[in-house]
Structure 1
Amino acid sequence: MVLTKTAEDISSMRIRGAGRIARTAAAALQEHGASLDSETLAAFTHEMEEAADLLCGTRPTAVSLPNAVRYVMQGVQKAATLEEAQHALHDRATAFIHDSLAAVEKIAEIAARQIPNDAVIMTHCNSEAAIACIIRAHEQGKVREVYATEVRPRNQGYITIQMLSDAGIPVNFIVDSAARMFMPKVDLVITGTDAVTANGAVVNKIGTAQIALCAHEARKPFIVAAETYKFAPRTILGERIPIEWRPPEEVIGSEKQLPPTVTVKNPAFDVTPPAYVDLIVTEIGAFAPSYAPVVIRDHLGWDIIEFQKDYAFTHHYGE
């Protein structure tokens, strides 16, 4: 079944990146809905809600996933007939995928204006949006070179350096712990994010907060590229983004035996305080972290009462 395989691929990180995960989930819901032979609206809605919960349970930190699922499922939940629900599911999934890709292009366009000529840039992890920003600036003749981190333990940095190299950009590949050593050589840092909270904090791949701290110390701008669907509405209610913990085998391999008193700690994400973030670039503009609640309130348009009724967030964050 496509739905089950998609959930497994997201959980196992065969599908990576918050934007890609969100689009894949939307497509999986669309395909799953088309495969159902439900005879009533109630049955169709129930089966789709089960599918939505399955997808939302795969990665607890990236809010792009429940946000995408919520957007697609709204059409089903508000439908008056089975046929209306089926059409709404298809149309909203298609619209989300289109808008997600368009958002990356717009972010790249806006962020490129923030990059000076002859820039040396550092990036961390493998962010579709951040890489698009760097490539767009390179196309404008602004980028001299990039420092890209290895990104232990899943080594997403290898994907990043391949993408940047394919675009013709000179890249320096460094281990994560060398970020502070090379920070004085760069002009700015650009990363993506898996979630932005209501106070402007950024939840991204583990190691991001340390790099942001180094940038702050060196007085280098730290810029975050984030589609608006990566903002976390329920953080307005005071809820925290759950940090995903990955298996120890990712760090030590499956063959190595550790001493009996040793425990492997493998958090996949960390939280960068808003004080260390200079600019968040979205498809609707670039702004300071303090503007995050305005995006949630005005652009996403989800009031607190609606959040509390929302099944995807209740199930996903209420466990």
Structure 2
Amino acid sequence: MKPIDRVTETAEKISSMEIRGAGRIATAAAASLKEYALAVQAESFEDFNQKTAVAADLLLKTRPTAVSLSNAIRMVMKYKADDIDGARQAIATNADRFIENSQKAVEKIGQIGSKRIREGDTVLTHCNSNAAISVISAAHKSGKNIKVIATESRPRFQGITTIGMLDQMGIETELIVDSAVRSVMNDVDLVVVGADVITANGTLVNKIGTAQIALCAREARTSFMVAAETYKFSPETILGELVTIEEREATEVLADISKYKHVRVRNPAFDVTPHQYIDLICTEAGAISPEMSYLIIRERLGWEMKVESS
């Protein structure tokens, strides 16, 4: 198999959601770029740079909403070298650093976020987020007696993955359909969700259904916390760019749609939760208010990320 074919294979897995979850997408892309850079043959340094740029762009186009993917690719591809061997090593080092930092970030988020969970709390979570599960897991490991309510997270049913992970941890869990959230919200002490994108003003873009959960939590006066690595914050939004909301295939929702003549299915993969509905964002840099997102972008990601990608 040619090196570019392996990148294509990873891109297809990301696009089809065989690889899913913002963090997993980001680390898979980083690992793929490392593998490609170490294997691809090039006639010149310029040829190498062009080929790696093509590979990066192939991965970048797979999931237009996930800023974790674009940030990961930029971090891996941000290198200075004078020759092919130097560039290969720089990309490999960047990829290894990103993957290691991502893993450490999830652990740190768990340690910080778990302090917000009290003994006897019931936690509601949506979709399947490593960061959110890390918070729940850390609370459980600390000896707190907690319960989790997980949504199915249609149409891809990521909640089934979540309950499997929680079950293996020995955490008491209930599974509910997405539309049952308001019915159980009065029994919930804390909502913990992950993030696909956090904008400069602290607005959250996450799995479809998150905004409705946040609205229910606000009405019920239930705390709503986001668990997110800092690379899920979007530098582009500082300069006014809007986040693209990915629309996926109608067949994910209605497999036999072709038999209907007058029906159209809309399948947005994400929705937008206003920062006013978020009580706290828990990152590896600490627990912050949504209004501090601007500082995370400026100090942790840097202005130059957007400038260089223009």
TM interval, shorter chain, is over 0.9
After TM superposition, where is structure 1 displaced by more than 4 Å over at least 4 residues in a row?
A: none
Q: What per-residue deviation string (whole Å, max 9, x for no partner) do you get for residues 143-177 of structure 1?
A: 42110000111100100000000000011100000
TM-aligned CA distance change 1:59 to 1:143, over 3 Å: farther
SS of equivalent residue, structure 1 residue 96: helix
| Aligned-partner Cα distance in 2 for 1:299–1:72 | 15
| Aligned-partner Cα distance in 1 for 2:238–2:280 | 20
Paired residue for 1:293? 294
| Aligned-partner Cα distance in 2 for 1:69–1:87 | 16
Residue in structure 2 matching 1:208, options 207, 210, 215: 210
Larger mean Cα displacement after TM superposition, 233-242 or 38-47: 38-47
- Tell me whether 1:272 sits opposite 2:255 in the alignment: no
Residue in structure 2 matching 1:130, options 102, 124, 132: 132
SS of equivalent residue, structure 1 residue 252: coil
Query: How many residues get paired?
Result: 306
Paired residue for 2:61? 57
Cα RMSD, aligned residues only: 1.0
Cα drift, residue 235 of structure 1: 0.3
Cα drift, residue 108 of structure 1: 0.3
- Tell me whether 1:10 sits opposite 2:14 in the alignment: yes
| Aligned-partner Cα distance in 1 for 2:198–2:120 | 30
Residue in structure 2 matching 1:43, options 40, 47, 61: 47
Structure 2 letter corresponding to 1:49:
A
Paired residue for 1:317? none
- Where structure 2 has 5 or more consecutive residues not aligned to the other structure, the ranges are none
Q: What per-residue deviation string (whole Å, max 9, x for no partner) do you get for residues 50-88 of structure 1?
A: 00000000000110001000000001xx22222211110
Equivalent residues in 2 for 1:87-166, closer than 5 Å:
87-166=89-168
Paired residue for 2:232? 230
Paired residue for 2:70? 66
Structure 2 letter corresponding to 1:279:
L
Q: What per-residue deviation string (whole Å, max 9, x for no partner) do you get for residues 126-149 of structure 1?
A: 001101110110111224211000
Please give the TM-score of this superposition, normalised by the length of structure 1.
Answer: 0.94
- Tell me whether 1:21 sits opposite 2:22 in the alignment: no
- Tell me whether 1:188 sits opposite 2:190 in the alignment: yes
C-alpha contact (below 8 Å) 1:195/1:232 kept by paired residues: yes
SS of equivalent residue, structure 2 residue 146: strand
| Aligned-partner Cα distance in 1 for 2:121–2:303 | 38
Cα drift, residue 199 of structure 1: 0.7
Paired residue for 1:259? 260
Structure 2 letter corresponding to 1:23:
T
C-alpha contact (below 8 Å) 1:121/1:147 kept by paired residues: yes
C-alpha contact (below 8 Å) 1:29/1:52 kept by paired residues: yes
| Aligned-partner Cα distance in 2 for 1:309–1:30 | 20
- Where structure 1 has 5 or more consecutive residues not aligned to the other structure, the ranges are 315-319
Q: What per-residue deviation string (whole Å, max 9, x for no partner) do you get for residues 250-302 of structure 1?
A: 0011x354532211000000010000000000000001000000000111122
Identity %: 53
Structure 2 letter corresponding to 1:46:
Q
